[in-house]
Chain A
Amino acid sequence: MEPILLKNINTPDSHKVDVYLKNNGYQALASALKMQPDGVIQMVKDSGLRGRGGAGFSTGLKWSFIPKDPTIPKYLCCNADEGEPGTFKDRVIIEKDPHQLIEGMIITCYAIGAKTAYIYIRGEFAFGTKRLEQAIKEAYEKGYLGKNILGSNFDCDIHIHRGFGAYICGEETALLESIEGLRGRPRIKPPFPAIAGLYAKPTVINNVETLSCISHIVNKGPKWFSSIGPEKSPGPKLFGVSGHVNKPGMYELPMGTTAREIIYNHAGGIRNGKKLKAFIPGGVSAPMLVEKDLDTPMDFDSLAAKGTMLGSGGIIVMDETACIVKVAMRTMAFFRHESCGKCTPCREGIDWTYKVLHRLEKGEGKEGDVELLEKLCGNIFGRTFCPLGDGAVMALRGALKNFRDEFVEHVKNKGCIV
């Protein structure tokens, strides 16, 4: 497939506006501004674009929830708080092709009637922030941002808001709280952000990759977009492959490409000719899959059928040297560190599971520990305030489901067998 989102990244100085303009940049904006906002929304709806942040909700539908009343201020927030371990797709776009994102954001603002947009960028992306700031400055200079964009009477401002190192701020309502200057932690839903989001006003929150697709949809039409990949979740997708592969990296492929093709054809197969033990299809909160699942098409629905999820598309590959208990422990350590501490099951439950896994890993496992882990998972799952707790439990459940023996071995042998 021809790269779409990544088509510019190998061009020298691809982050500069001149280079972007040379590659037909900001043409989509010009043509979108000539359309009615509703037309843009319809176009995105027709394209079948689904959110790339993980949940896979239809983007056009999300936009259409925004009230049309022009007197109410509305906001667009770009979620660039890419904190999921194994995920690094947004970073590439921000650092290499920021104008692609900005153009998408301006079109989105136009479509939903927002005059202000925020980019909530992960605090660790210092370089990316610099690039974005530069790009926004250039966009203002060229008149793509600010008052009366391209003579269309449409105003738009973009602000960058840097996060401070909290994974939970990737959750949309926590992100809003953080922008408002409050403690970054999720809000009660309902009301949903489309009704009362940022500063209690209607707000759309989209992922960087989602917003980057917009300009291409406007340029080439929704038909072209929906022709890529499977019917129900079309479009190009960025797959970040990491772990025990020969060529880890970012691969842009159509949705629905099988895991086998991504790992073996594109990422060059398993390192040192070892055997694949397990792979996580979409960031650590997605339950892991094993070799027999390699032929699953990587799209929202097929993976959901397998009990896992596409998530952010960050594929983590583990060969036979990996100890799954240790993997589970590391995963839980991450979630334990990143739990915001608001709700009981997530705060206490994940801490507890981590402590049990840590003991198992150290070889101090006890009879009944595996059952205890399963029980804890059951007590956490579905009872937490936001999906963070569920994500942690799903990851652990995936490991327990596929590699229960290994956990039992740890209890019996008081140590690792790998």
Chain B
Amino acid sequence: MATVKINGKEITVEDGTLILDAARQAGFEIPTFCYQARLSRLGSCRMCIIEIGGQKKLQPSCVTPVMHGMEVFTENETVKSARASMLEFLLANHPLDCPTCDKGGECELQDFVFKSGPRRSPFSESKRRFHDKDKILSPVIIKNHNRCIHCERCVRICDEVVGRTALGSIGRGAKIMETSFMDSTLDCDHCGNCIEVCPVGSWMSLPYRYKARTWDLKEIDTVCPYCATGCQFTIGARNNEIVRVKSKITTGINKETLCARGRFGYNFIQSEKRLKKPLLKKNGKLVESSWDEAISFIKQRFGAGKKTAGIASARHTNEELFVFQKLIRDVFKTNNIDLDSRFANKWVTSSAIEVLNLAAGGISIFDALKAEVIFVIGSAISNENPITDYLIRQTAVDRRKTLILAHPRRFKLNSSANISLRYKPGTEGEVIKGITDFIEKGVFHGNVVGDISQVGEKFKNAKNITMFLGADILRLDNGTNVVAEIVALKGLLKKAGKNIIIQPLFDRCNQRGARAMGIHPLFLPGLKKVKENGMDCGEILDAAKKGEIDSLYILGEDIVSMYPDAKFAKDALSNIKFKVVQDTFLTETAKTADVVIPGASYAEKDGTFTNQEGRVQRLRKVISPVGNSKDDLDILCSIGGFAYKSAKEVFDDIKKEVLGYKDINFDALDGNGALVKGHGAENQGSRVKGQGASEIASASPRNDTSSNPYLDEYPFLLITGNHLFHSGRLSQNDDVLIKLLAEPFVEISEEDAKELGLTDKENVKVKSSEYEAVLKLRVVKGSQKGVAFMPENFDSVSVNQFYKKGQGIARVKIEKQV
């Protein structure tokens, strides 16, 4: 500990604390530009220079650590005049076009000049000017070089946090320019974090360009509706129209960062294609109707009992899902309720719930990342959960930590990984088993590319291990095997006295919450076991095919587009007499429905999401639902005849049913949310007794992927997932995200491409036994051989058409298009 005197005020801080932080702790404001807490220290803007007693030169406080007995002056005349002179220098070449600048009103330079700047500048020369027109560097990013003050926050955040290294400095002296490679169009993650960290209006958002001034905006903090990382952000709306999304340096696990989806994916809310009125099928055609008519129609026609079912999407709030399961279970009297989560069967999902210990309390990702070994399997994390990727990257910089990535594809985080493992999809269990075997016996088998023995060594030597388990395993028919292997590995490590944390990585914002709310054929809210098992998604469709389902309520899910066998799903749905689809867009599934109800988007409703850590966060209403659409909660309540008036009332009921949520105060949920607590729920009989994961795993035969009869004809295993710019089928309705990636592609490894004589960006024919399509090829160096990837986000080439029910992972061949 060091005691320092700052402006006469004594303060004791930890050794190595920066003077800047110490001064801020002591309550003195020091302006900074280049300093940003999570970035490397640069010390270049010289705004934070302060005087240290006994030193002649002023020192930058953002890079100078405190020393015991140091005397620091941050407010004396020398410092003040130095500060003013720095601002004078910065303003010398800064164009004073604040009236036209989008940053005006929230510009740090403006604020500091107002606070401590010179009121008058003797600068009478001509200003440096790079260009007259602002440069459009990407569909979402626009740059004005003239305004840049060269703090290089953009360069550092792109390099150190996002990991893209798309930006750098060109030129030197007064002609220095922070921009893309040779100032060309950016080929990057388009995450817009450069815009966020820019203290002036140099980096700007193109969709927000000239839409409003900051003081016009009604700004409301809410949660991102895409992946389950659960980033906090602030929506700015003007005249009931959302004009921007911004992250805040002070709140959420994401702090100032977001990904392209979160930051720019708000335009679907105001899309022309949104459903604005209820639709009823009359004479085989969907026609607009009134709310009363639609609701009474549903009440009248929807059956009850075992022949009914409900499928929900994990994009809904806890409250809606809770009411939905209440509707299905209490009103429609059935346990046939499931979540779409990649259409895994109920045994896989329930075993995953067990191994992930979802009934227990949540573990903060920051605690999870304290482990020495971080192992990620089953998720292309850079694409599925970009912000988790950022957090892991920043942790992995620490040389004492080991980051192990196991996935068939190579993605961005691999550049920060210490060990990368490649395997064929479906053999995740073998990878885990290999590690277990190596630790146990020192030998292992399996077709894994990469050094498992090294991974085993790292596991052996570590005290704390965190495993991130991706949602990919939920897709596997043999998912229970994988879970069983994980359970075995966990047991082994536990026995060795290691602390092991297993964290889920989900691709939908409220997957964890949905399970806790009882959206599962085997669990009631609070993951209490049901008396009579219901059917999962696959089983519901099987039953429908046989004509055993009469009524189906689909809440926000596009089964026709997402179920792995499009033809089968369509056939099965057509056998159901009465289908209700509640969604925001007229999806393929909605087109087959008898009643289509327009729901609300995330910005139009209140509620809570539970992210993958188990952090409950508030979703807040920003604008009223578009057109004649309604809040989903209102709709569900009026169908079910529930008396809930607001999300808070539902939450109070949730607190009674779900133990983990007991202590959470709905109104007090702030930017950091609240982690759910265990409250002994994990020991409350919520386990799947008798059919626990490990037992199933040992009983069910191992799927041998190599014995597939299609192996020769269709050499590629087709895997799918979200692209970095898209999420499910929702984002294709966003006209900004669609500009970033407009059409699907197929990605294969460099080795395969060489063998097939294919080159990057050429058109290829992708063919499975079910379907064929022409797609653009992307070649990635370092991915697993024999694996093809396609994003699942586009209606134009719907990936599920390649699949055939019962065959597991689809197999395709890729040919040159002639």
Pick the residue among A166, A356, A384 that contacts B172 (CB under 8 A): A166
CA distance A348 to B124 in the complex (A): 14
The stretch of A137-145, A150-158, A257-265, A339-347 that contacts the partner chain: A339-347
Pick the residue among A351, A382, A385 that contacts B58 (CB under 8 A): A382
Interface size on B, residues (CB 8 A): 36
Q: Decide if B150 touches A341 in the complex (CB within 8 Å).
A: yes
The stretch of B86-94, B324-332, B742-750, B771-779 that contacts the partner chain: B86-94
What are the residues of chain B within 8 A of A368 when measuring CB–CB? Answer: 122
B782 within 8 A of A: no
What are the residues of chain B within 8 A of A347 when measuring CB–CB? Answer: 89, 150, 173-174, 176
Pick the residue among B56, B85, B173 that contacts A338 (CB under 8 A): B173
What are the residues of chain A within 8 A of B6 when measuring CB–CB? Answer: none
A201 within 8 A of B: no
* A379-B46 CB under 8 A given contacts A340-B172, A347-B174: no
What are the residues of chain A within 8 A of B169 when measuring CB–CB? Answer: 183, 341
Q: Decide if B168 touches A183 in the complex (CB within 8 Å).
A: yes
What are the residues of chain B within 8 A of A355 when measuring CB–CB? Answer: 125-126
Q: In chain B, what residue has the closest Cβ to A338?
A: B173
CA distance A342 to B41 in the complex (A): 13
Closest chain A CB from B46 CB (angstroms): 5
Q: Decide if A188 touches B89 in the complex (CB within 8 Å).
A: no
* A188-B49 CB under 8 A given contacts A341-B175, A348-B93, A379-B85: no
* A345-B173 CB under 8 A given contacts A352-B89, A359-B125: no
A232 within 8 A of B: no
A383 within 8 A of B: yes
Q: Decide if A344 touches B172 in the complex (CB within 8 Å).
A: no
Closest chain B CB from A75 CB (angstroms): 20
Within 8 A of A (CB), among B40-58: 41-47, 49, 56-58
Q: How many A-B residue pairs have CB under 8 A?
A: 95
Q: In chain A, what residue has the closest Cβ to B84?
A: A379
CA distance A347 to B94 in the complex (A): 13
What are the residues of chain B within 8 A of A188 when measuring CB–CB? Answer: 41-43, 63
CA distance A359 to B122 in the complex (A): 14
Give the secondary structure class of B's interface.
loop
A306 within 8 A of B: no
Within 8 A of A (CB), among B343-391: none
Closest chain B CB from A200 CB (angstroms): 11
CA distance A384 to B49 in the complex (A): 10
Give the secondary structure class of A's interface.
helix
A126 within 8 A of B: no
Q: Decide if A339 touches B63 in the complex (CB within 8 Å).
A: no
Pick the residue among B58, B150, B174 that contacts A383 (CB under 8 A): B58
What are the residues of chain A within 8 A of B128 when measuring CB–CB? Answer: 351
A68 within 8 A of B: no
Pick the residue among B42, B46, B56 that contacts A345 (CB under 8 A): B46
Provide the B90-101 mask, 1 if CB < 8 A to any CB of A, else 0: 101100000000
Pick the residue among B90, B126, B171 that contacts A344 (CB under 8 A): B90
Q: In chain B, what residue has the closest Cβ to A340?
A: B172
A372 within 8 A of B: yes
Q: Decide if A385 touches B92 in the complex (CB within 8 Å).
A: no
* A348-B89 CB under 8 A given contacts A183-B168, A341-B173, A383-B58: yes
Q: Decide if B124 touches A366 in the complex (CB within 8 Å).
A: yes
What are the residues of chain A within 8 A of B206 when measuring CB–CB? Answer: none
B181 within 8 A of A: no
Closest chain B CB from A357 CB (angstroms): 11
What are the residues of chain A within 8 A of B47 when measuring CB–CB? Answer: 344
Provide the A4-37 mask, 1 if CB < 8 A to any CB of B, else 0: 0000000000000000000000000000000000
Within 8 A of A (CB), among B113-128: 122-126, 128
CA distance A379 to B46 in the complex (A): 11
CA distance A384 to B88 in the complex (A): 15
Q: Decide if B122 touches A372 in the complex (CB within 8 Å).
A: yes
CA distance A379 to B90 in the complex (A): 12
What are the residues of chain A within 8 A of B173 when measuring CB–CB? Answer: 336-341, 347, 350-351
A240 within 8 A of B: no
Q: Decide if A343 touches B172 in the complex (CB within 8 Å).
A: no
What are the residues of chain B within 8 A of A372 when measuring CB–CB? Answer: 122
Q: In chain A, what residue has the closest Cβ to B81?
A: A379
Q: In chain A, what residue has the closest Cβ to B169?
A: A183
Q: Decide if A341 touches B172 in the complex (CB within 8 Å).
A: yes
Closest chain A CB from B743 CB (angstroms): 37
Q: Decide if B44 touches A385 in the complex (CB within 8 Å).
A: yes
Q: In chain B, what residue has the closest Cβ to A339?
A: B173
What are the residues of chain A within 8 A of B125 when measuring CB–CB? Answer: 352, 355-356, 359
CA distance A82 to B778 in the complex (A): 48
Which of B42, B44, B82, B88 lies at the interface centre, i.e. has the most chain A CB atoms within 10 A of its CB?
A: B44
A349 within 8 A of B: yes
Q: In chain B, what residue has the closest Cβ to A184?
A: B172
What are the residues of chain B within 8 A of A337 when measuring CB–CB? Answer: 173
Closest chain B CB from A173 CB (angstroms): 12
Closest chain B CB from A391 CB (angstroms): 14
What are the residues of chain B within 8 A of A344 when measuring CB–CB? Answer: 44-47, 86, 89-90, 149-150
What are the residues of chain B within 8 A of A349 when measuring CB–CB? Answer: 89
CA distance A385 to B59 in the complex (A): 10
Q: In chain B, what residue has the closest Cβ to A337?
A: B173
Closest chain B CB from A164 CB (angstroms): 11
Within 8 A of B (CB), among A376-396: 379, 382-385
Pick the residue among B43, B88, B176 that contacts A379 (CB under 8 A): B88
Which of B89, B90, B128 lies at the interface centre, i.e. has the most chain A CB atoms within 10 A of its CB?
A: B89
20 contacts between A and B (CB under 8 A): A188-B63, A340-B172, A341-B171, A343-B43, A344-B46, A344-B86, A345-B85, A347-B89, A347-B173, A351-B93, A351-B173, A351-B174, A352-B92, A355-B125, A355-B126, A375-B122, A379-B82, A382-B56, A383-B86, A384-B46
> Other CB < 8 Å A-B pairs besides A338-B172, A341-B176, A348-B89, 5 of them?
A339-B172, A343-B45, A344-B150, A351-B173, A383-B49
Closest 9 CB pairs of A and B: A341-B176, A379-B85, A348-B89, A355-B125, A351-B174, A339-B173, A342-B44, A382-B57, A341-B172
